[in-house]
Amino acid sequence: SRAAAADAAPAPAPGGNDNAVPADTGAVSDGKVWVNTRSGVYWKSGTEFYGKTKQGKYLSEEEAKKAGYRPAKPVKQNTH
């Protein structure tokens, strides 16, 4: 029936890579922060290093704080 076909899960895209690193796509931003697991600092979505450090993972901000990570310091803007 048509209804049963509509409920079926969509097939993965051809050539898709299920092991892709989220940092490469920048698609994981729904309330998550990017934690640099080496430095212990995290960044929010839209900031300079969000998803761009070599070592890291996405966590909720609450998870990051509970794990002992700290927010990155704001970057000072040059006012000259």
Q: Are 33 and 42 in contact (CB under 8 A)?
A: yes
> What are the boundaries of each domain within the chain?
32-71
pTM for the complete prediction? Answer: 0.58
How far apart are alpha carbons 42 and 68 in whole angstroms?
10
Q: Which residue has the tokens 């993972």?
A: 57
Condensed to tens digits (0 to 9), the pLDDT of residues 23-74 reads 444 445 578 999 999 999 999 999 999 999 999 999 999 999 999 999 999 8
Condensed to tens digits (0 to 9), the pLDDT of residues 16-27 reads 444 334 444 444
Q: Which residue has the tokens 């796509």?
A: 25
